[in-house]
């Protein structure tokens, strides 16, 4: 049950919740396609508190709430708010809860959304907490795989790039492990997924670790490519030494299975060459577009009357 609950980790979403979100998101997607009005959030206000850069996540949350007929209040630049005066997250959130019905938080520290949920009288939605999780992104990622790869079960899914710091991968691997999938983790040795995430994957799941993208190119159904998370490195020289580790180009695409799809949570830096965008495999802009119907579904289920 999502109703009136915070969404901090993908563990907050049961298998039944997921199915319900997908059902409602499909309805929202059709309503968006046909221009049908869905004014079910009249009088409801969503607050967005973004302590870290965002384009897609904030815009799609705000677009979703506007499409539902609700309103949005936002702090997109915390240097222009009382945060710059030293206000704690707990105080900001307490106050935001008295101005709104649901609060979307993005913060550079892992655990920040959990902390916010402990001080808020309104549901908190985690829009990314440092290198922790990004559960709403994960739900739209699963929605994309269902729609664009024809389902999740039975697929071989390659997670590629910065698996150490990438929060989208962290919540995605936990969610994928509930399905009957084979997972291949492709990263440089220094950017492997933290052990505590791996430890949570049931032993019945088939997981392989690789450093070379070539080794999975002709066998994967889904390529989930991620950016090296520059802002998480304490040593920028280490970051620089990893730039360009993976760069998917047309030669790679030519060797991919028919019907396989390429995803990316975006922003993309140099992991996927722009010419790949024009191939049938490229689904990352659609994936980003699904952010609106999926977030419409989540907001409406959380704030359900
Ligand atoms: C991701 C994030 O913020 O974690 N972006 C997003 O929300 N779509 C991925 C990233 O920044 O690399």
DSSP string, 97-119: HHH-SEEEEEESSTTHHHHHHHH
Ligand 1: residues within 6 Å at CB?
A: 56-57, 128, 134, 137, 167-168, 226-227, 265-267
CA of 264 to the centre of ligand 1 (A): 9
- Give the contacts of 153 (CB within 8 A, at least 6 positions apart): 179, 180, 181
Residue 267: asked if its preceding bond is cis (omega within 30°), the reply is yes
Q: Relative to the CA of 229, which ligand 1 atom is closest?
A: 12
* Distance from C-alpha of 136 to C-alpha of 134, rounded to nearest angstrom: 6
CA 265 to ligand 1 center in whole angstroms: 6
What is the spatial distance between Cα 272 and Cα 246, in angstroms, rounded to a whole number?
8
**What is the atom index within ligand 1 of the atom nearest the CA of 265?**
8
Residue 288 CA, closest ligand 1 atom number: 8
Q: CA 85 to CA 200: how far, in whole Å?
A: 40
Distance CA 224, CA 159 (A): 5
Give the Å distance between the CA of 280 and the centre of ligand 1. Answer: 23
Using most ligand atoms within 8 A of CB, pick from 137, 169, 187 the residue to mutate for ligand 1: 137
Q: Which atom of ligand 1 is nearest to the CA of 56?
A: 8
The total number of residues written for the chain in this structure: 305
302 SS3 class: helix
- From 57, 105, 164, 239, mutation site for ligand 1 pocket: most ligand atoms within 8 A of C-beta: 57
Instruction: Please state, in angstroms and rounded to a whole number, the distance separating the CA atoms of residues 83 and 87.
Output: 5
Tens digits of pLDDT across the chain (305 residues): 899 999 999 999 999 999 999 999 999 999 999 999 899 999 999 999 999 999 999 999 999 999 999 999 999 888 777 887 888 999 999 999 999 999 999 999 999 999 999 999 999 999 999 999 999 999 999 999 999 999 999 999 999 999 999 999 999 999 999 999 999 999 999 999 999 999 999 988 999 999 999 999 999 999 999 999 999 999 999 999 999 999 999 999 999 999 999 999 999 999 999 999 999 999 999 999 999 999 999 999 999 96
Q: How far apart are CA 151 and CA 143, in angstroms?
A: 9
User: How many other C-beta atoms can be found within 10 angstroms of the C-beta atom of residue 147?
Assistant: 18
Question: Taking the CB of residue 39, how many other CB atoms lie within 10 A of it?
Answer: 9
**Coil, strand or helix at 123:** coil
Structural domains for the chain: 10-133+290-302 (3.40.50.1370), 135-288 (3.40.50.1370)
Nearest atom, ligand 1, residue 291 CA: 8
What is the residue with the minimal CA distance to atom 12 of ligand 1?
Answer: 227
pTM over 0.85: yes
């Amino acid at each position: 049950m999502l109703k009136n609950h915070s969404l901090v980790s993908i563990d907050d979403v049961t298998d039944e919740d997921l199915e319900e979100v997908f059902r409602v998101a499909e309805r929202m997607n059709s309503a968006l396609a046909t221009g049908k009005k869905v004014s079910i959030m009249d009088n409801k206000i969503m607050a967005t508190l973004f302590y870290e850069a965002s384009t897609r996540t904030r815009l799609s949350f705000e677009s979703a709430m506007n499409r539902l007929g609700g309103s949005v209040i936002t702090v997109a630049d915390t240097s222009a708010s009382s945060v710059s005066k030293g206000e704690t997250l707990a105080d900001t959130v307490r106050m935001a809860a008295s101005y709104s019905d649901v609060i979307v938080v993005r913060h550079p520290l892992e655990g920040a959304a959990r902390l916010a949920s402990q001080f808020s009288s309104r549901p908190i939605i985690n829009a990314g907490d440092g290198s922790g999780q990004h559960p709403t992104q994960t739900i739209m990622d699963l929605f994309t795989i269902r729609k664009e790869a024809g389902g999740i079960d039975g697929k071989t899914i390659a997670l590629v790039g910065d698996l150490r710091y990438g929060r989208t991968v962290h919540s995605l691997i936990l969610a994928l492990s509930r399905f009957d999938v084979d997972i291949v983790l492709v990263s440089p040795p220094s950017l492997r997924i933290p052990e505590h995430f791996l430890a949570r994957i049931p032993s019945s799941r088939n997981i392989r670790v690789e450093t070379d993208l070539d080794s999975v190119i002709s066998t994967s159904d889904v390529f989930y490519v991620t950016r090296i998370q520059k802002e998480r490195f304490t040593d920028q020289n280490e970051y620089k030494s990893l730039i360009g580790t993976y760069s998917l180009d047309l030669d790679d695409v030519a060797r991919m299975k028919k019907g396989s799809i390429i995803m990316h949570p975006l922003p993309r830096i140099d992991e996927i060459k722009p010419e790949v965008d024009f191939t049938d495999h490229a689904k990352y802009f659609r994936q980003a577009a699904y952010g609106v119907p999926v977030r419409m579904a989540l907001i409406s289920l959380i704030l359900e009357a």
